[in-house]
Structure formats: structure tokens, C-alpha cells
Amino acid sequence: MQYAAFGKEQGVSLSRIALGTWAMGGGSDWGPVEDEQSVRAVHAALDQGINWIDTAPIYGLGHSEEVLGRALQGRRQHVFLATKCGLVRFTKGINHWLKPDSIRRELEDSLRRLQTDYIDLYQIHWPDPATPLADTLEELTRLKQSGKIRFIGVCNFPPDLLKQACDMADISCVQGPYSLLDKEKSRQILPFIQPQNRAFAAYGSLGGGILSGKYKKEANIRRADARSYFYRFYKGENFIHTSGVVARICRLAKRDGVPPAQVALGWVLHMPGVTGVLAGARSEAQVCQNAQAVLWCPQPGDLDFLEANTCSPLK
């Protein structure tokens, strides 16, 4: 495994591949998954040298955190644990909700499920237009001062809102989508955070799995599946476009004798300003494969070859 400094924070070294745990929540988003399989995947990640694990209370409505809490018993001290707040289920669905009292409740629930008394990185999952940003960040700062969280992060913030947040609070890490299929959003914010030496965590770097090369034709995906509503690469014109990107990935993977997922993740790891990549996994084999992405060494011209004509025409 390779490691990188956590932005401007002193004394924190993080694996460049982090374990993403959305799929471990099971349920409608990703389909059923056995908890024991998830626990084994977490243990495999630790054995591979991965020390950064990212989750959220909305993943399986708390189930991902519960499984992770079980898996980390006796090994919590070896993990940089990141979770989130701000997506809350109400009667009529899931809302962006960052009221201070709600954040306090979410944090206490996450601590209980994760079986820990502190969170290393506590992140706003998505902005909440109905709550003043200052109120939210003041509450997160109080929680940091109390010792319940070590660092504050934000996810999915557009450039202007991110600049406001960084003026209001000590933001250690920014998380955003970054893949060969979805890169423009993060490239709009990286020039701002790089000079300030803030960490950047890339998510969705396999496009929900499609950049692993395992989908040879359009998949029959349920409407509730995250690959239907969040990763829109699996149908129609989007799939046709994505297939061309996957073909280039597979060409380099075959040349180098590695799985395509390692090339797709490796491309992101070589992008300027990227601290680490959050790679989701449902099994030990996927964890081990993803961890090896740090070893992929592109030849001259490879990065540009992969990126050629990858502006995604999402419909």
C-alpha cells in the first residue's frame, strides 16, 4: 500500500486506497449482501494496509455503520474512520437536513453503531439549502472542540459554497466524484483546495462498477438500484459512450496484465491533488484487487489516452 499525508494535518498518514462501504448497507441501493461477507471484506482491507474507511448513516439506514462497528472490534485504533451527516429519512423520503440538533443526534447514533467514542473525519454529506451554512459549521466546530470528531470535511459542495465553508470553519478534507466518466465537478474545486493543502477524497472512481469491465452489455438494473439513479452509465447512449471508455481501460489492462479496475482507479490516483480514492467493495477479492491499484504505473501517454473523449453525454 502507498500512503499520503492528510492534507495540512500533521501526523496523519492515510492509505491512498480507502474502503468505501455503501454496498455493505445492503437494502435496495445495492441489493442484499451477507454481513459476514462484509466483515471479511473489512478485515481484508486492513490486512492489505488500508487504514482509511468511509461510511455514512444513510447507507442501509445505519446498517453499514453497524456492520463496520462489528468488524472493527479490537482494531479501531488502526483505522482512520470517516462518516457523514445531513441525509435524514423523514416520512416522505430522504431530506438534506443539517440543523444543529439533527447533527448532534446523527453523531450520537453513528458513535453507537460504530462502537466508538470519536470519529476521525466527520463530513457534511450534501449541502442543505434550508439551513444557514454558518449554523451547521458552528455545530461541527463545537463537536470538534468536544473531542467527538477530530476533523471536519464536506462532500459534494460546488465551488462557491466550498469557498464559503472554508472561510467559516477549518475544513480538512473535501470529497467529490472523480472518474474517467465524471471528472469536471472535482476539477472545478481542486485548483482552489490544492494551494491550501486540503485533502481530497475521490469517490465513484469505478462508476458504480462499470469501469471494472464486467458489463459487456446493458444490465437489467432495478429502478431502486444505485446504478440506476446515481451512476447513470448503464443504459442507452450513456452505455454506448461508457463502452468506449471501458475499451481503452481494458486495452491498457491487457497490456500490463492487470484487472481493468486497477487501471481505472490508478488513473484517478495519478491526477493532481487527489489524496486518496474511496473504492467500494463487497468481497475480499474486490478489496484485494482495488488495493493493488497503487502499483499500476502508466507509461508515457497512457493518462491522456484514457481521458480522450471522455466527456460524458449523460441523459
Residues identified as active-site? 59
Please, which residues bridge with residue 81 across strands?
A: 53
DSSP string, 252-289: HHHHHTS-HHHHHHHHHHTSTT--EEEEE-SSHHHHHH
CB count, 10 Å around CB of 62? 19
The type of residue at 302 is D
Q: Between the CA of residue 298 and those of 193, 259, 294, what are the distances in Å? A: 26, 14, 11
CA 226 to chain centre: 14
The type of residue at 72 is L
d(CA 80, CA 50): 9
201 phi and psi, to 5 degrees?
-110, 125
Q: Between the CA of residue 158 and those of 162, 187, 226, what are the distances in Å? A: 6, 11, 22
E strand or H helix at 152 = strand 149-155
CB count, 10 Å around CB of 307? 15
* 53 contacts 21 by C-beta, under 8 angstroms: yes
For cell 459554497, the residue is: 161
| CA quadruple 153, 158, 164, 167: dihedral, nearest 10 | 40
